Chains A and B, each alone.
Chain A
Amino acid sequence: MWTWLHKLASPPHAFRLLDRMAPWFGVAACALILIGAYWGLVEAPADYQQGDGFRILYVHAPAAWLSLSIYVVMAAAAAIGLIWRIKLAHAAAAASAPVGAAFTFLALATGSIWGKPMWGTWWVWDARLTSELILLFLYLGYLAFRASFDDVQRADRASAILAIVGVINVPIIHYSVEWWTTLHQPASVTRFAKPTIALSMLIPLFIMLAGYQLYFVWVLCRRLQGEILRRERSATWLTSVEGAA
Chain B
Amino acid sequence: MMTNDLGRAMLLAVQRDLTLAWRRWDDVAQPILFYVVVTTLFPLATTPDLAQLRSIAAGIVWVAALLASMLTLEALFRTDVDDGSMEQWVLSGQPLGWLLLAKVAAHWLLTGLPLVLLSPLLAAALGLPREAWGTMLLSLALGTAALSQLGGIGAALTVSVRRGNVLLSLLVLPLAMPLLIFGARAVGLAVDGLSPAGPLELLAAIFFLTLSLGPLAMAAAIRIGVES
Q: Write the residues of chain A forming the contact surface with B, with a CB cutoff of 8 angstroms.
A: 134, 137-138, 140-141, 144-145, 148-149, 151, 154, 157-158, 161-162, 164-166, 168-169, 172-173, 176-177, 179-180, 183
Contact = CB atoms under 8 A, between A and B. Distances in A.
A141 B170 contact: yes
B161 A179 contact: no
24 contacts: A134-B177, A138-B175, A141-B170, A144-B170, A148-B164, A148-B167, A151-B228, A154-B160, A157-B224, A158-B160, A158-B224, A161-B157, A161-B221, A161-B224, A165-B153, A165-B175, A166-B175, A172-B209, A176-B177, A176-B178, A176-B202, A180-B181, A180-B185, A183-B185
A148 B171 CA distance: 12
B177 A145 contact: no
A151 B181 CA distance: 37
Interface residues of B, dominant DSSP: helix
A183 to B, nearest CB: 7
A132 to B, nearest CB: 12
A164 B171 CA distance: 13
A148 B160 CA distance: 10
A66 B160 CA distance: 32
A148 to B, nearest CB: 5
Nearest to B189: A183
Interface core residue of B157, B158, B171 (most chain A CB under 10 Å)? B171
Interface in B171-198: 171, 173-175, 177-178, 181-182, 185
B178 A172 contact: yes
B97 interface: no
Given A148-B161, A154-B228, A180-B185, A161 B174 contact: no
Contacts of A141: 167, 170-171, 174
A232 B164 CA distance: 28
B206 interface: yes
Interface of B: 153, 157-158, 160-161, 164, 167, 170-171, 173-175, 177-178, 181-182, 185, 202, 206, 209, 213, 217, 220-221, 224-225, 228
A175 to B, nearest CB: 8
Interface core residue of B160, B209, B213 (most chain A CB under 10 Å)? B160
Contacts of B221: 158, 161
* Interface pairs A-B: 6 shortest CB-CB: A176-B178, A137-B174, A141-B171, A148-B161, A180-B181, A176-B181
B56 to A, nearest CB: 13
B164 to A, nearest CB: 7
Contacts of B213: 168
A67 B174 CA distance: 16
A138 B224 CA distance: 21
Contact of B167 (A144, A154, A165, A166): A144
A222 to B, nearest CB: 28
A145 B167 CA distance: 7
Contact of B174 (A134, A149, A157, A164): A134
B11 to A, nearest CB: 28
A44 B18 CA distance: 68
Contacts of A157: 224
Given A140-B170, A141-B170, A165 B217 contact: yes
Contacts of B177: 134, 173, 176-177
A173 B173 CA distance: 12
Contacts of A164: 217
A169 B175 contact: yes
A181 to B, nearest CB: 10
Contacts of B164: 148
A179 B177 CA distance: 13
A127 B182 CA distance: 15
Contact of A162 (B157, B160, B182): B157
A144 B181 CA distance: 25
Contacts of B153: 161, 165
A218 B213 CA distance: 35
Contacts of A144: 167, 170
A172 to B, nearest CB: 5
A179 B181 contact: yes
A148 B182 CA distance: 32
Nearest to A166: B175
A172 B173 CA distance: 14
